Amino acid sequence: MHRTLAAPLLLLTTITFAQTEEQRSTIADQQEVAVTIYNENLALIKDQRKLQIKEGSSTLAFRDVSAKMRSETALLRSLTAPGKLLVSEQNFDFDLLTPQKLLEKYVNRSVTVTRTNPATGQETSEQAQVLSANNGTVLKIGQRIETGMPGRIVYGDVPQNLRDRPTLVMSLDNSGAQLHDVELSYLTGGLSWKADYVVELNPADTRLDISGWVTLTNTSGATYRNAKLQLVAGDVNQIKQAPQMRAMAAAPAPAAKAKGEMAEESLFEYHLYTLNRTTTIAENQTKQVALLTASGVPVRKELLLKGNDYYYQNSYGELGQKMKVGVFVEFDNKATAQLGMPLPKGIIRVYKKDSAGNAQFIGEDRVDHTPKNETVRLKLGDAFDVTADKKQTDFKKLGGSGKYNYMFESAYEMVLKNAKKEPVLVTVQEPMPGDWQILSESQTHTKGASNTVVWSVLVPAEGSSKLAYRALVRY
């Protein structure tokens, strides 16, 4: 007998027989698919297919679904005859057919081991029992035990719950016509999105151009062809072991000034972005879709030196030489500033052209979800040409022996240096502990908050400016 031909024929016959008991639906039956992706590795899939379903009881194998489906959220309904198609039971088969999985399913079952004589090419076959498939193969052949793979292993059939694609198997009761447009909706992991922004500053650092991109990643184990794509921006609460969807009503929001491929609207307490065309989200693929573009957005640059509150309670002397001055830019997310569109959280990368006209990367920062009419503030790095030297010039404990009645007086001197060929304005921000009072100062301060003193110091080109002040703090 030619065992080389007999084994594949036997395998094919067995698979065909196992599948005659159920109706199979593949992606070829699909009419359309809608994908809504949330920020935290969560997506809602709505898969519409046209099916012939026999009257009465039957079994439907709904193939080509996500391998990371949350099966407890799956819902099949008939769009043509609501209430006529009922699901009494469903099983999610995600144990996929591989040589290793097939071997594992055959533990304590019999297989045929076929060996080929390398000298003659003659094949011999023996029956064997699979004792173990864990970290290697253990077989019992006759009265001996063999490990490893002594030859080709031929299996008698494929177990019903071992499939080549993720499949949702449902027991149906159809009391209507046989032709149905059905929709299977379910939540799944393995689909995520994030926003990335590219910003270019003008030469004067007064305006910027911004482009926003949505990056989609699909590791769900399924491909969504010509999908209607929607993205939800916001922090949607999920119960870890029993995720559920909120019922959310959509209300349109005013149109944004920024332009892009995505329309935006409010959704419950979140924001929904809808792509104005269909797109294919392939399995194991990362793709980018344009979110928005805007030009000429007014921007403000700030050089910021931040202090600490610890040195108002003790004598410290030198507090720092060549201290770093942070560089920040901020802009308003308003329609009057050419924006006014809710911005999903993501990373904003900033570029500026050099003297030769080449765009150079000058920093990046991460921003949270930003509603319209809010301010976006980015830290791009530390200034190279602007530094500060700082020291404590005096310290006195004026009183206090209990826990809350201490009083300290201290004085400070700060020299801000500028190596640029143009003057710069540096914001000095000092956090003040307890009940505080500025007793004297070389420049006038403002009160940024209840515990913050702010000075705006103009530093001349290739020069320096001195800030001296004395403070009284009480605890």
Give the Cα separation of 365 and 199 in Å (integer).
11
Q: How far is CA 56 from CA 74, 76, 85, 177, 374, in A?
A: 22, 17, 9, 10, 58
Q: For 277-306, how does the pLDDT look when each residue is reduced to its tens digit (9 = 90+)?
A: 999 999 999 999 999 999 999 999 999 999
Q: Are 79 and 182 in contact (CB under 8 A)?
A: yes
Question: Region 242-268: what's the mean pLDDT?
Answer: 53
Q: Confidence band (pLDDT; 50, 70, 90) for 242?
A: very low
Compute CA 421 distance to the chain's CA centroid, rounded to the nearest angstrom. 43
Residues 6+ positions from 270 with CB-CB distance below 8 Å = 232, 233, 234, 236, 248
- Under CATH, which number does the domain 3-96+162-188 receive? 2.60.40
Q: For 46-103, how does the pLDDT look when each residue is reduced to its tens digit (9 = 90+)?
A: 999 999 999 999 999 999 999 999 999 999 999 999 999 999 999 998 766 778 878 8
Sign of CA dihedral 222, 227, 228, 231: positive
Q: Which of 169, 165, 168 has the alpha carbon at shortest distance from 221?
A: 165
Question: Region 467-475: what's the mean pLDDT?
Answer: 94
Q: What is the mean pLDDT of the chain?
A: 88
Which pLDDT does position 2 carry in this prediction? Answer: 41
Question: Which helix (DSSP H) or strand (DSSP E) does residue 9 occupy?
Answer: helix 3-19
For the entire predicted model, the pTM comes to 0.73
Which pLDDT does position 403 carry in this prediction? Answer: 67
Is pLDDT at 4 greater than 70 in this prediction? no
Q: How far is CA 270 from CA 39, 130, 321, 332, 369, in A?
A: 11, 55, 47, 20, 10
Residues 6+ positions from 302 with CB-CB distance below 8 Å = 327, 328, 329, 330, 427
Percent of the chain topping pLDDT 90? 67
Q: Decide if 3-96+162-188 and 300-327+382-474 have a common fold.
A: yes
Q: For 390-443, how does the pLDDT look when each residue is reduced to its tens digit (9 = 90+)?
A: 999 999 998 877 666 889 999 999 999 999 999 999 999 999 998 999 999 999
Is pLDDT at 9 greater than 70 in this prediction? no
Which pLDDT does position 238 carry in this prediction? Answer: 76
Strand-pair category, 138-141 with 179-188? unpaired
Q: Where are the domains of the chain?
A: 3-96+162-188, 99-154, 191-297, 300-327+382-474
Strand partners, 266: 251, 271
Structural class in CATH, domain 300-327+382-474: mainly beta
Cα Rg for the chain, rounded, in angstroms? 34
Is pLDDT at 366 greater than 80 in this prediction? yes
Residue with more model confidence, 270 or 444: 444
Residue 107 corresponds to which tokens in the numbers above?
Answer: 């533990």
Give the Cα separation of 104 and 132 in Å (integer).
8
Question: Region 108-130: what's the mean pLDDT?
Answer: 89
